[in-house]
Amino acid sequence: MRRMRNVKIVATLGPASSDYATIRALHEAGADVFRLNMSHGTHDEIAARHAIIRQVERDLDSTIAILADLQGPKLRVGRFANGEEELEEGAAFRLDLDDAPGDVHRVHLPHPEIFAVLEPGAALLVNDGKIRLRVERCGSDFAECTVTVGGTISNRKGVNVPDVVLPLAALSDKDRSDLDFVCDLGVDWLALSFVQRPEDVTEARERARGRAAILSKIEKPAAVKSFDAILAASDGIMVARGDLGVELPVQNVPPIQKRLTRACRAAAKPVIVATQMLESMIESPMPTRAEVSDVATAIYEGSDAIMLSAESAAGQYPVEAVRTMDNVAQEVEGDPNYRQIIDAQRGAERATVADAIVAAAREITETTDVKAICCYTQSGTTALLVARERPPAPILALSSVQSTARRLALSWGTKCVITGELDRFKSAVVNAARAARKLGYAGTEDQIVVTAGVPFNTTGTTNILRVAPCDERLIYNTDPE
């Protein structure tokens, strides 16, 4: 299945998209990666959706990545005697460890770790920032606050603490159980919530034991401050703009999105831009103009992937939402300004032989009529380096490692092909030519670029580049053994 765009689409599965027909339709409409939200659904429901995705993959002979999104620690207030209360601006309000039902003056906050790091002047945000409190006085078991933004507060609403690094691990007990479950199930990516420091990523990686790649969600100010270290520890990044917009001034989010996206590209690691991209399509078959512009901006910035959440998981028009994203992506990438912007953002990372090989491959596609770059990769690193170059020609990533091929389905412009193990470069060129012809990227009269590492099946040895014909007879007549 050939996409007519480079940016990838991540679609979240849920009640509106849990059967075979819908999941297949989502993939055919443009979804390259399916997200399983571990905040919702039982293990049996997650396993059923996973099985359907793999069945669609087999039926369509199309490599699909599966991303399991771990819930992370959830900080919530307790319950109210009346179910809810109205807090007025300027009023005093207390949070404490007393589990008695709350009222208009106080409520239980069952998180001593929050009280341990609070200081006077710190902000507390409740219900996605709709209610804002300023800490006036605090201790190990209480915080006396002033309401700076009032509103309705009710049972079990979430609490955000943007001004401090909380002494909490990114993995809760539920997350550890979910992580083991989905890794045994065979997901390709783990999205890690509540990341504050690189050590959070290390814990998840050690527990995953190589069974899935680690994608860190940047949703807290502490993660933005420690981003370089978090990026170095991660395999990919998700810019989770919803939570960032709660914990930071909303006007700060667009420049942060741009900066993080460019840093990920420079590091040759995939980046997803997520949250509220086509929010109105939960209930409407058509997006707003502002939403379309938002999606287009993420594509112009060079994001590897853009994500649908409730739009595809619980909305009334999941397939239409994916199709809309696909249409917007094709239109943006067909704009001459897109290529100018993408090229202008390219860095000058040339530290290794592999860097030089992939840069040369991209330059060849810019100056000749070569139809595709075919790269053999075991770990996926070479394909990620090619994707960092953002070449004008399609990227075919060929790998004998199925998990590598699936993980690369998240990477910009990369079509993944699972192939057998090879021991000769001639065989690699022949396989690449066959794949390019079969997938419709090239004909027998065309040429492709082939990159590989010799000796074969060894990670980190990309050291050879060949411009090759797609006619096998010419390959056999001109290639040495």
Question: Going from the N-terminus, what domains does the chain have, and what CATH number goes with each?
Answer: 8-72+169-335 (3.20.20.60), 84-160 (2.40.33.10), 353-478 (3.40.1380.20)
Q: Give every strand in the sheet of 159-160, ordered side by side.
A: 106-108, 92-96, 142-149, 131-139, 123-126, 159-160
- pLDDT confidence bin for 462, thresholds 50/70/90: confident
Cα distances (Å, whole numbers) of residue 264 to 273, 303, 415? 12, 9, 20
- Whether residue 479 is predicted with pLDDT greater than 70 in this model: the reply is no
Q: What is the three-class DSSP state of 139?
A: strand
Q: Which of 217, 323, 388, 390 is catalytic?
A: 217
What is the mean pLDDT of the segment spanning 136-143? 96
Query: Residues of the chain with pLDDT > 70: what percent?
Result: 98
353's CB contacts (< 8 A; 6+ apart) are 462, 463
- pLDDT confidence bin for 213, thresholds 50/70/90: very high
Q: Which of 54, 76, 79, 262 is catalytic?
A: 76
pLDDT given at position 460: 66
Residue with the larger pLDDT of the pair 117 and 458: 117
What is the mean pLDDT of the segment spanning 127-141? 95
What distance in Å separates the CA atoms of residue 451 and residue 236, rounded to the nearest whole number? 23
CA dihedral 406, 407, 413, 416 (to 10 degrees): -30
- pLDDT by residue (tens digit) across 389-422? 999 999 999 999 999 999 999 999 999 999 888 7
> Parallel, antiparallel, or unpaired: how do β-strands 395-399 and 414-418 relate?
parallel
Is 217 part of the annotated catalytic residue set? yes
Query: In this structure, is the dihedral angle defined by the CA atoms of residues 388, 393, 398 and 401, taken in order, positive or negative?
Result: positive
pLDDT given at position 426: 86
pLDDT given at position 472: 81
What is the mean pLDDT of the segment spanning 155-173? 92
pLDDT given at position 478: 63
pLDDT given at position 369: 95
- Whether residue 457 is predicted with pLDDT greater than 70 in this model: the reply is no
- Whether residue 459 is predicted with pLDDT greater than 80 in this model: the reply is no
Q: Which residue do the tokens 């990920």 mark?
A: 264
What is the mean pLDDT of the segment spanning 230-259? 95
- pLDDT by residue (tens digit) across 199-208? 999 999 999 9
Q: Which of 275, 324, 365, 404 is catalytic?
A: 275
pLDDT given at position 182: 98
- Whether residue 481 is predicted with pLDDT greater than 60 in this model: the reply is no
What distance in Å separates the CA atoms of residue 312 and residue 13, rounded to the nearest whole number? 6
Q: Which helix (H) or strand (E) holds 330?
A: helix 318-333
Q: Which of 24, 35, 371, 437 is catalytic?
A: 35
DSSP character at residue 88: P
- pLDDT by residue (tens digit) across 336-376? 999 999 999 998 766 889 999 999 999 999 999 999 999 99
Is 275 part of the annotated catalytic residue set? yes
Q: Please tell me the least confidently modeled range out of 109-123, 234-248, 467-481.
A: 467-481
Phi, psi angle pair for 293, to nearest 5°: -65, -40
